């Protein structure tokens, strides 16, 4: 299979979800997502209305919303309220952070119920569950992935991008094996170059979450290969 820049863009969520992001960066994010025809763009909840407006005439680019970001430690009621608010504003996808502490505590029922509540609120809108794998053991990554699938997640995602790591090849292998095709895999938090993306596609990743500057650099690099990159 040959991967073109356009095909890669349709696997890439461009994001600007750091605490210090200002409105100028949100505008640049929307412009880049439109230019490259990315599948989705993500901002923090406070900027979601602006993002949605900036993408109003670019129907091929989704406006993504984050829930329980970045710690996952919000109450379930707050996560559901946050999800509903952004869904009402037009969110096309939700990326929610798992309750990392509950998962590490072995409180699986709490973890499942937390995710299920957001999935139910989302209806037909896909929910990606973020594990924040940097803070988890291999066993916890596997168990968290399986719980996310049990709760109805459309994707299991490696990280928020706020932790030091997340999207390692090892973590991707663990998640892909754990979900067994019952959910898709999104890599985020440490995806820095085209080589890594190609390796992760080969391991079963179908979506990538990448910051604005890194994402545009990778897409530009991919575009230089006229006949596409072998994956």
Active-site positions?
A: 95, 157, 186
Packing angle of the helix pair 108-122, 76-88 (nearest 10 deg) = 20
Give the span between the Cα atoms of 215 and 36, in whole angstroms. Answer: 10
Count the alpha carbons within 13 Å of 151 in the hemisphere toward its beta carbon: 30
Contact (Cβ atoms closer than 8 angstroms) between residue 209 and residue 15: yes
Give the span between the Cα atoms of 148 and 179, in whole angstroms. Answer: 9
Give the span between the Cα atoms of 12 and 39, in whole angstroms. Answer: 6
The two tokens of residue 26 are 């949100």
Give the span between the Cα atoms of 21 and 14, in whole angstroms. Answer: 13
């Amino acid at each position: 299979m040959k991967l073109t820049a356009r095909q890669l863009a349709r696997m890439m969520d461009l994001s600007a979800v750091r605490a210090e992001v200002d409105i100028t960066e949100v505008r640049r994010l929307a412009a880049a997502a439109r230019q490259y025809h990315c599948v989705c763009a993500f901002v923090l909840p406070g900027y979601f209305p602006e993002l949605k407006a900036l993408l109003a005439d670019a129907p091929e680019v989704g406006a993504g919303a984050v829930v329980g970001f970045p710690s996952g430690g919000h109450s379930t009621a707050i996560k559901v309220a946050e999800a509903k608010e952004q869904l009402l504003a037009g969110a096309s996808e939700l990326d929610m952070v798992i309750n990392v502490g509950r998962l590490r505590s072995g409180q699986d029922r709490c973890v499942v119920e937390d995710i299920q509540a957001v999935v139910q609120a989302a209806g037909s809108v896909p929910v990606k569950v973020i594990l924040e794998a940097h803070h988890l053991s291999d066993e916890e990554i596997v168990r968290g992935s399986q719980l996310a699938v049990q709760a109805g997640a459309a994707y299991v995602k490696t990280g928020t991008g706020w932790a030091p790591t997340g999207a390692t090849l090892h973590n991707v292998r663990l998640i892909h094996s754990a979900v067994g095709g019952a959910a898709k895999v999104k890599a985020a938090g440490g995806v820095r170059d085209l080589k890594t993306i190609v390796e992760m596609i080969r391991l079963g990743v179908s979506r990538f979450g990448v910051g604005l500057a890194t994402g545009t650099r990778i897409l530009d690099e991919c575009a230089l290969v006229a006949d596409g990159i072998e994956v």
